[in-house]
């Protein structure tokens, strides 16, 4: 499993801490619906998300990890860590470590201090008196003694962190509306300087929009003036930004907001920002497939192939075409998709045809004139004579040769390889030989 744990920067107040944790959990929902908050009521609350099922969706583990690192850095994340279990990721994050896959999980956790797991930190005084300074010391204690002397949460947390028992989480639900609040670290006097904090809120909003597969055409940024503002100044102000079409491109939205903030003059220093999504609409995602999806259900495959060939080049889009030839190697060839399809051939074959035909026939060993392939072959159906090709001539290395064949095809059964398609040659001047030419699925 791949778990990520994110710790927020210590907040100035409990309200700010709760807002930061909630906003971070909402932002994480764009990557996976399996997002949870560990110990939400404590100052050391952490947001965890299980990403194993989302790796392919985001282009592989490396790309997903890099994207989360880059975007979370703008959100002001204090620490980001990865591990096979959620509690292990939280413990590593509190210890300031990021990679929970650098060593075996037991080695990494054994070296961590007691404070990294809250159920263990509660009993730190007692554990230190009996000589425990690291989680590995606690794990070395007799399990019976731990269960009798301490509460059940300590042993359960240790087992969950080390992956010895399944973890239980209460998953975060995606809110129907988006409203986020940010308490600024310092007072801001100039409106353009509000963009730094506003961008953090917009990143959270774009994550919420991605989780809802939606875009936005309007959002409102509100700011609250400092409590020490002059008496004739109001409590704050607001600005609404609108777009021509639904979107969630953070760069474009930031540019629009920057243009608007450049025209505003603040009446007093600002200490708090709020962002609210006003007009949210479903966003039609662009397909990442090379094959465009037909706009009309009745659009034929030929029209789709024409558009793909126009995009990639006609030589890169091929389709199989049946030829008027009874020799298996040349019954079918490939042609570029835009070329006209030849007329359909009416071909009736009274013998079974293989599912797979090999590019080159494989010569078989024989015993008493019987073919061998992973054991003696049992001939089931045949022979089916295929002969001809004197008219089909090729030139290789300046030598002209005719692709004439004279074969008797059989359906054969192998004890280990299944049903096979083999033939026996009877060309003048050559000894009789057996070849494997295909197989039946």
pLDDT for 57: 87
Q: What is the CATH number of domain 179-282?
A: 3.30.1490.100
* Per-residue pLDDT, 17: 83
Instruction: Give 293: exposed, middle or buried? Use CB within 10 Å, 0-12, 13-18, 19+.
Output: exposed
Q: What is the pTM of this model?
A: 0.61
Assign 357 to helix, strand or coil.
Answer: strand
pLDDT in tens, 62-108: 999 999 998 888 887 889 999 999 999 999 999 999 998 988 999 99
Low-confidence spans in the chain with pLDDT less than 70:
11-12, 285-303, 307, 330, 338-350, 390, 392-393, 395-398, 400, 402, 427-431
- Tens digit of pLDDT for each residue in 313-324? 777 888 777 777
Residue with tokens 């110990």: 39
Give the per-residue pLDDT at 338: 65
User: Domain extents for the chain?
Assistant: 3-161, 179-282, 288-343, 356-439
| Structure confidence at residue 140 (pLDDT) | 92
pLDDT of amino acid 383: 86
Dihedral Cα 272, 273, 274, 275, nearest 10 deg: -170
């Amino acid at each position: 499993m791949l778990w990520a744990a994110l710790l927020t920067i210590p907040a100035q107040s409990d309200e700010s801490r709760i807002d930061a944790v909630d906003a971070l959990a909402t932002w994480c929902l764009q990557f996976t619906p399996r997002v949870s908050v560990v110990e939400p009521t404590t100052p050391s609350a952490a947001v965890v998300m299980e990403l194993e099922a989302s790796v392919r969706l985001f282009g592989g583990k490396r790309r997903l990890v890099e994207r989360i690192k880059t975007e979370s850095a703008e959100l002001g994340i204090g620490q980001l860590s990865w591990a096979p279990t959620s509690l292990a990721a939280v413990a590593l994050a509190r210890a300031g470590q990021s990679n929970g896959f650098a060593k075996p999980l037991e080695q990494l956790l054994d070296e961590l201090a007691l404070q990294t797991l809250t159920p263990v930190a509660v009993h730190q005084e007692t554990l230190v008196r009996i000589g425990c300074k690291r989680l590995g010391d606690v794990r070395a204690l007799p399990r019976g003694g731990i269960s009798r002397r301490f509460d059940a949460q300590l042993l359960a947390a240790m087992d969950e962190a080390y992956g010895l028992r399944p973890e239980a989480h209460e998953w975060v639900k995606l809110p129907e509306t988006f409203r986020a609040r940010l308490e600024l670290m310092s007072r801001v006097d100039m409106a353009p300087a509000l963009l730094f904090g506003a961008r953090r809120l917009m990143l959270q909003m774009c994550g919420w929009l991605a989780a809802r597969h939606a875009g936005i055409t309007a959002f409102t940024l509100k700011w609250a003036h400092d409590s020490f503002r002059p008496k004739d100044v109001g409590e704050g102000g607001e600005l609404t930004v609108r777009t021509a079409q639904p979107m969630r491109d953070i760069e474009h939205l930031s540019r629009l907001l920057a243009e608007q903030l450049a025209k505003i003059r603040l009446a007093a220093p600002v200490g708090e920002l709020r962002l609210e999504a006003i007009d949210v609409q479903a966003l039609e995602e662009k397909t990442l497939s090379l094959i465009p999806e037909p706009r009309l259900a009745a659009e034929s495959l030929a029209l789709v192939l024409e558009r793909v060939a126009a995009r990639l080049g006609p030589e890169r889009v091929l389709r199989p075409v049946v030829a008027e030839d009874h020799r298996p190697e040349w019954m079918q060839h490939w042609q570029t998709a835009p070329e006209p399809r030849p007329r359909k051939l009416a071909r009736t074959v009274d013998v079974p045809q293989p599912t797979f035909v090999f590019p080159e026939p494989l010569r078989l060993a024989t015993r008493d004139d019987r073919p061998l392939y992973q054991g003696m072959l049992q001939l089931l159906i045949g022979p089916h004579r295929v002969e001809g090709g004197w008219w089909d001539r090729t030139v290789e290395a300046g030598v002209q040769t005719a692709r004439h064949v004279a074969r008797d095809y059989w359906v054969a059964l192998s004890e280990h390889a299944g049903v096979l398609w083999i033939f026996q040659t009877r060309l003048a001047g050559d000894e009789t030989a057996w070849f494997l030419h295909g197989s039946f699925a």
